[in-house]
Structure 1
Amino acid sequence: MTGMSNGGSAAAMTPQTLWRHRFTSFAREALGYWRDVGRSGFALVATALLIGGAYEYGALLKRLPSTFPYIWIAVLLLAPALALGGVRTLVRPADRVFLLPLEGRLGVYFRQAFLYSWIVQAAKTAAALTALWPLYAKFGGGGAPHPFPWMLGTALALKGLQLWADWQESRLVNGRWRSLLRVLRFAATAAFVPIWLEASWLAACLAVAAASILLAFLLYNSRMFSLGWDMLLAREAAQQRRLYRWFRWFTDVPQLPEPVRKRGWLAALSRRLAVKREHTHLFLYEKTLLRTELFGMYARFTIVGLLLVVFISEAWLKAAFLIGLPLLGLVQLSALAEAHRYTFWLELYPVPRRWQSSAVLTLVAPLAIAQTALLSAAYALTASPGPLVAAAPLLSLAAVLAALRFRLRPALRRKFEA
């Protein structure tokens, strides 16, 4: 994420302009990475998970007994959504020097940061409440659940109160006191959720009012900075690192060094290759695949696919996942071709470029077929007897082979041999 070019230009801006510049820079960079995430096939996987999860959720609700203790699930889901998360300020280390003289005029900047943070976290809170709602509508409220608009409005208002409390805690001088208040606030939120869901709205409002008065009293009697710069800078750096780590699951992130893991038990496979000129690219790409995050992505995707194929009960949906997931996995594996797109010295190798496309295909094809075989085995062991049990694995394998032959191979040739 790029910041201001220098401190003087930042100081010359108004707080509103400074926030607009920072947010525009952040949004532009994040949007570029989100495009890479979309190209990775994640959106299709997420959509498939959502459809499959919603179907299984509805089927599970029909099987649950009337005495099901849903309140524990509600606490585990809603307490973190309500209590966790802070204000994203987009501050930079140089702000400690260049913006410190303007500290008294930065109220507008931080109000904009607060509004942005509330919008993002309100969306997450609304998603958590929406996910819980079918369970609450069936079991909650003593048979008379509260209306969804009222519950959503209460959740969003409480989220705003939580963000305000977090902002005040970031100004505390004593770090241990700050940590203790956060723990107490999370515990109070977890205790509030059952009251909110099961008791009357008046009891919930009284509980929030009592907790707010106590928190305000504790904060009022604490030593506080006008702005907790150290805390804000540390939090901003941590939030940005988490975002970069998420993007690194799908694409290269230059701001983070690419982790290279030895994985000797796998990397030793490359020793089977004879030391020959035609194995140059094959050796390089095999080491790249086994030692970088791409192999971890492949393994995680395979595990998630196995869980979906095993636990989805509807026959047609299980077969659809069996056919679709290996194709998405192949899209993910094809990212290996981009691993060395900025490695200029590959152009100096005295070897034909067509060997580069052959090396990528030689590595990707067995992994894609192995993934298909694993998912097919899981499907065959868990599917109900019927014509799909034999047809779906064959269709899945045929789809992967066709994608390798008619999609990936021509694409690699165009890339490396044009």
Structure 2
Amino acid sequence: MKHIEELWRERFQAYMKELRRYLKYMFNDHLLFVLIFGGGAAIYYYSGWVKTLTSEFPVGIVIGFILGLVLTVSPISTFLRQADLVFLLPLETKLASYFKKGLGVSFIGQAYIILLILAACMPMYVQVTGSSFSMFFYMLLLAFGLKIWNLIIHWQMLKIRDSYVHVYDWIIRFIFNALLFYFFIEKASFWFFGVVLLIMAVFTIYVKEASKNKTIKWEVLIEKEEGRMQAFYHAANMFTDVPHLRGKVKRRKWLDPLFSLIPYGSEQTYLFLFARTILRTSEFSGLIVRLTLISILIIVFSGNLYLSIAISLLFLYLTGFQLFPILRKHELKIWTSLYPIKPSQKRIAFLRLLLQVLLVQAVMFGLFAFISTGLRNGMIVLLVSIAFSLLFAKIYAPGRIIKLEKVS
């Protein structure tokens, strides 16, 4: 058993070293200032919105839904690697302590997220129900207990290969989590709690019996661990180059007409390459789409001009900043060095594409601000966003590229 403990210690220490390696870039960069500014603006407007809530607001449904999602999503850290499929498979029966430690680390990491989200929900809860903030500790205990239960059930379900079963498991656990918090907030009868807890107990027994005598699905665990680390690398990639990052490439033939807009000629080589990189690689297209959708949702539901402007500028900056790694995306491929074109054309192509992406976002922000707050505010958001996009692409980005080239 000693070598199992040593294996865990080595894997965990390697993980923490990797975490610290990238976190120092993420929290030392000036982007942290932008995030703090954006977070401060969100807190300011959130507090103002909370003061407008009345007793008719469905706070139980809202908090139940939010915490239901947070509790149901329960990834498990195993620190497994591809080679473990060969070398650790014979030791499967002796790895119980290893995976228990993984569950423990997973709980601690997710407990911080629960703490933050529950703290964010408390002003809304107190405003609507009139209860005191001391209820926070009871709700936190309930959330921690449910998170432990979710992790245990999720671990057992990972032994079952059927993907449909995993979907049903996720839905069932979400319903249980949301219902218990809804009943708690609405101060429902003890019998409602009793019925839900009884069904949960039956479900737990069923899952335990269904996974009994089933072996660990190593491929699934390794795939999920790699996915978890890739998600972290995607975040770190916004601040520094991450060699471990692997984006999924998809053909996306339906987007081919967009490439016909690029003029034919050798001077457009990098523009064509970078455009295909963005549209076909989830590493970039996925992040751009997610940031755009999140910002649009906030703009639509905020109904406030100043918040819409702040969100537009923040997400334009985040989008522009995450595109810089494209410059080095194909750096290690020898055929890019064989292009008979000037090196400066690479920089020109990137700045042109960067501006085009930001302008498309700016137009979308202005359009949805118009839908949400009217023509005047929509035009203001549009003009401010376009001005910011031009400043970012024409002034900030060239200086940033020079800085990156010096580092490399």
Q: Smaller-chain TM-score range?
A: 0.7 to 0.9
- SS of corresponding position for 1:119: helix
Whether the 8 Å contact between 2:308 and 2:381 is mirrored in structure 1 is no
- SS of corresponding position for 2:57: coil
- SS of corresponding position for 2:76: coil
* Structure 2 match to 1:357: 347
How big is the alpha-carbon RMSD for the aligned residues of Structure 1 and Structure 2?
Answer: 4.5
Superposed, which structure 2 residues align to 1:167-178 within 5 Å? Answer: 167-170=155-158
In structure 2, distance between residues paired with 1:15 and 1:300: 40
Which of 198, 215, 218 aligns to 1:228? It is 215
* Structure 2 match to 1:76: 65
Question: Which residue identity lines up with residue 228 of structure 1 in the other structure?
Answer: T
1:118 Cα deviation after fit: 0.9
* Structure 1 match to 2:261: 269
Which of 136, 147, 150 aligns to 1:148? It is 136
Which of 111, 129, 151 aligns to 1:122? It is 111
Distance 1:164 1:63, change over 3 A: same
1:125 Cα deviation after fit: 2.6
Superposed, which structure 2 residues align to 1:35-50 within 5 Å? Answer: 47=36, 50=39
* Structure 2 match to 1:3: none
1:170 Cα deviation after fit: 4.7
In structure 2, distance between residues paired with 1:128 and 1:177: 29
Unaligned runs of 5+ in 2: none
1:147 Cα deviation after fit: 1.6
Question: Which residue identity lines up with residue 241 of structure 1 in the other structure?
Answer: G
Question: Which residue identity lines up with residue 149 of structure 2 in the other structure?
Answer: L
1:381 Cα deviation after fit: 7.5
Whether the 8 Å contact between 1:71 and 1:194 is mirrored in structure 2 is yes
Deviations 1:184-233 (A, max 9, x none): 554443432333333389768856764565456546766713x7312x54
* Structure 2 match to 1:163: 151
Whether the 8 Å contact between 2:74 and 2:147 is mirrored in structure 1 is no
Whether the 8 Å contact between 2:267 and 2:341 is mirrored in structure 1 is yes
1:56 Cα deviation after fit: 3.9
Distance 1:370 1:36, change over 3 A: farther
Whose Rg is larger? 1
Deviations 1:61-94 (A, max 9, x none): 3333422232222332222333442533233465
Question: Which residue identity lines up with residue 158 of structure 1 in the other structure?
Answer: L
1:168 Cα deviation after fit: 4.4
**Percent pairwise identity:** 23
- SS of corresponding position for 2:14: helix
Deviations 1:281-318 (A, max 9, x none): 34433443444443554455444444444543455444
Whether the 8 Å contact between 1:267 and 1:290 is mirrored in structure 2 is no
Superposed, which structure 2 residues align to 1:185-200 within 5 Å? Answer: 185-199=173-187
- SS of corresponding position for 1:229: coil
- SS of corresponding position for 1:16: helix
Question: Which residue identity lines up with residue 23 of structure 1 in the other structure?
Answer: F
Deviations 1:372-410 (A, max 9, x none): 455456657866999x99988766555544444443234
* Structure 2 match to 1:339: 329
Deviations 1:116-168 (A, max 9, x none): 01112222333332333223223348x67862112212221232233234444
Question: Which residue identity lines up with residue 68 of structure 2 in the other structure?
Answer: A
Distance 1:63 1:360, change over 3 A: same
Deviations 1:9-52 (A, max 9, x none): xx9x6222111222233344455566777799875675565444
* Structure 2 match to 1:348: 338
- SS of corresponding position for 2:78: coil
In structure 2, distance between residues paired with 1:357 and 1:177: 49
Whether the 8 Å contact between 2:34 and 2:314 is mirrored in structure 1 is no
Superposed, which structure 2 residues align to 1:236-315 within 5 Å? Answer: 236-241=222-227, 243-244=229-230, 247-248=233-234, 251=237, 254=244, 256-261=246-251, 262=253, 263-270=255-262, 272-273=263-264, 275=265, 277-293=266-282, 294-295=284-285, 297-315=287-305
Whether the 8 Å contact between 2:312 and 2:381 is mirrored in structure 1 is yes
Whether the 8 Å contact between 1:357 and 1:413 is mirrored in structure 2 is no
Distance 1:410 1:144, change over 3 A: closer
Superposed, which structure 2 residues align to 1:6-85 within 5 Å? Answer: 14-29=3-18, 47=36, 50-85=39-74
Unaligned runs of 5+ in 1: 1-10
In structure 1, distance between residues paired with 2:132 and 2:399: 60
Mean CA deviation greater in 290-299 or 340-349: 290-299
In structure 1, distance between residues paired with 2:403 and 2:132: 63
- SS of corresponding position for 1:269: coil
Distance 1:343 1:258, change over 3 A: farther
Distance 1:348 1:312, change over 3 A: same
Question: Which residue identity lines up with residue 266 of structure 1 in the other structure?
Answer: L
In structure 2, distance between residues paired with 1:139 and 1:80: 22
Deviations 1:312-336 (A, max 9, x none): 3455444444544434443234443
Distance 1:329 1:144, change over 3 A: closer
Distance 1:247 1:36, change over 3 A: farther
In structure 2, distance between residues paired with 1:174 and 1:87: 18
Superposed, which structure 2 residues align to 1:337-416 within 5 Å? Answer: 337-372=327-362, 374-375=364-365, 397-412=386-401
In structure 2, distance between residues paired with 1:175 and 1:335: 35
Question: Which residue identity lines up with residue 229 of structure 1 in the other structure?
Answer: I
In structure 1, distance between residues paired with 2:159 and 2:41: 44
